[in-house]
Amino acid sequence: MTINKHDVRLYPEGIESRWRDLDWEIVGPAPQRPAMNLALDEVLTRRVGHGDRAPLLRFWGWAEPCVVIGRFQSVSNEIHLDRANELGIQIVRRVSGGGAMLIEPESAITYSAYLPPSMVEDLSFQESYAFLDSWIIDALRRLGIDAWYEPLNDITSAGGKIGGAAQARKDQAVLHHTTMAYDMTEGLLTQVLRIGMEKIRDKGIRSAEARVGPLRQQTQMPRDEIIDHLYDSFVELTGASPGALGDAEIAEAEALVDEKFGNDEWTFLLP
Amino acid sequence: MRGDYKTVGGKLVTVNFDLSGGHLTNVQVSGDFFLYPEEALGDIRQALEGLPESEDERSIAARINAAIGPEVEMVGFSPEAVARAVGRGLGRDDQ
């Protein structure tokens, strides 16, 4: 008997109502520098945790190409730094764990959810990823993409890995952010990222690039229309109302770019 | 020296270190794992710093366990996975 992966729900039954229990706001994509996107994540997580703003879903816009490495990754172990510099690809470090992502501005779809811990209380880490990614899986399937959640933090499909999520838990809040590949410049991933065989040993595949199945290979829909569809799907699920980033939030994030996310001290924390 | 170990169905942990007088020094622990709270990474690293290269993996894992508080959550890796990465870095075969 084969188990249809699509039908395996990896979180407890009956918690879907939690999406509607919160008064969500939603913000569409506006291009930001990579370090600013990361700084906004820290600021907005803290503000949600301290009750200074409503739970929020924010789509990211990317102003510049970059590699975003995970909180615990080593720059030199993950990145061909000379090649990245030649290509004008910045390196930034995010606050959450997980793996490196190569971002080309029009080729990635990224969003962050900032929520109170009550939404995932009594769930294991794995269940919380499955639960917080469930709406995106449903939304992708409505586009005819055969997608599912793959533990621990992947969103994958019959056509290959689409993306991944990462969580940080701090300041009495949960940050859950997800990046999906919309498109991919062939050969760029392996030029910039070092992906050893050990990492893909249990995946049953021969190369990192062979793992990836960008959305553009699986749907005719332009990137902006996919983002609109995801936005609408989230509003339908949660009743979220359109929000905006406040001037104080933006100012705080800009200060954090100067102090932290734009600095080598943070980026090369693990050299 | 460098050793990598990926927990099956989990995440990769890499341990980089130098050897000096039969002890591990300049230890760096990194990877695409998740760790809460994040500051626990320093405790894991400290548990390996100065470790005799003759130490077996079971006691390396025990040292890591002792160094991190009960509230620490290692997600996608474990003290045993870190110990295996150290073992590989020391050129030891998988058991």
Per-residue pLDDT tens digits for A64-122: 999 999 999 999 999 999 999 999 999 999 999 999 999 999 999 999 999 999 999 99
**pLDDT given at position B32:** 96
Per-residue pLDDT of chain B (95 residues), as tens digits, is 999 999 998 999 999 999 999 999 999 999 999 999 999 999 999 999 999 999 999 999 999 999 998 999 999 999 999 999 999 999 997 76
**pLDDT given at position B23:** 98
Mean pLDDT of A116-129: 95
**pLDDT given at position B68:** 96
Among B1, B27, B34, most A C-beta atoms within 10 A, so best to mutate, is: B34
CA distance A139 to A233: 6
**pLDDT given at position A196:** 72
Among A102, A152, A211, most B C-beta atoms within 10 A, so best to mutate, is: A152
Which CATH number applies to A16-265? 3.30.930.10
A155-172, pLDDT tens digit by residue? 999 899 999 999 999 999
CA-CA-CA-CA dihedral for A178, B6, B4, B91, to nearest 10? 180
Radius of gyration of chain B (CA): 12
Query: Per the CB < 8 Å rule, is A167 touching B28?
Result: no
- What are the extents of the domains in chain B? 2-89
Q: Is the pLDDT of residue A3 over 60?
A: no
What is the predicted ipTM?
0.96
Among A10, A42, A68, A72, most B C-beta atoms within 10 A, so best to mutate, is: A72
CA distance A115 to B1: 41
Q: Is B94 on the interface with A (CB under 8 A)?
A: no
- Given 2.60.120.10, 2.40.160.40, 3.30.390.50, 3.10.20.30, which CATH number is that of B2-89? 3.30.390.50
**pLDDT given at position A202:** 66
CB atoms within 10 A of CB A229: 16
**pLDDT given at position A31:** 95
Mark out chain A residues that contact chain B at CB-CB < 8 A: 70-74, 77, 95-100, 125, 151-153, 166-170, 196, 198-199, 201-202, 270-271
Q: Is the pLDDT of residue A5 over 70?
A: no
**Side chain identity at residue B95, one-letter code:** Q
**Side chain identity at residue B94, one-letter code:** D
**Predicted confidence band at A1 (pLDDT cuts at 50, 70, 90)?**
very low
Q: Which of A212, A211, A210, A221 is nearest to A144 (CA)?
A: A221
Q: Is the pLDDT of residue A2 over 60?
A: no
Here the tokens at position A122 are: 């009594």
A207-266, pLDDT tens digit by residue? 666 678 999 999 989 999 999 999 999 999 999 999 999 999 999 999 999 999 999 999
**pLDDT given at position B94:** 72
Q: Is B25 on the interface with A (CB under 8 A)?
A: no
Residue bearing tokens 């370090």: A35
Residue A116 to residues A48, A244, A259, B31, B51, Cα–Cα distance (Å) = 7, 19, 26, 27, 41
Angle at alpha carbon of residue A184, lines to A182 and A186, rounded to 5°: 160
**Predicted confidence band at A8 (pLDDT cuts at 50, 70, 90)?**
confident
Nearest CB to A77; choose among B8, B9, B14? B14
Residue predicted with more confidence, B85 or A205: B85
Q: Burial of B46 by CB count in 10 Å (0-12 exposed, 13-18 middle, 19+ buried)?
A: middle
Residue A117 to residues A96, A169, A176, Cα–Cα distance (Å) = 16, 8, 11
Nearest CB to A169; choose among B8, B36, B76? B36
Residue predicted with more confidence, B88 or A2: B88
Q: Burial of A165 by CB count in 10 Å (0-12 exposed, 13-18 middle, 19+ buried)?
A: buried
Share of chain A above pLDDT 70, in %: 93
Query: Per the CB < 8 Å rule, is B32 touching A100?
Result: yes
For residue A196, give how far its alpha carbon lies from the nearest alpha carbon of chain B (Å): 9
Residue predicted with more confidence, A196 or A133: A133
CA distance A262 to A76: 18
Q: Where are the alpha helices (DSSP H) in A73-158?
A: 75-78, 81-86, 125-142
Query: Per the CB < 8 Å rule, is A170 touching B37?
Result: yes
- Average pLDDT across chain A, whole number: 93
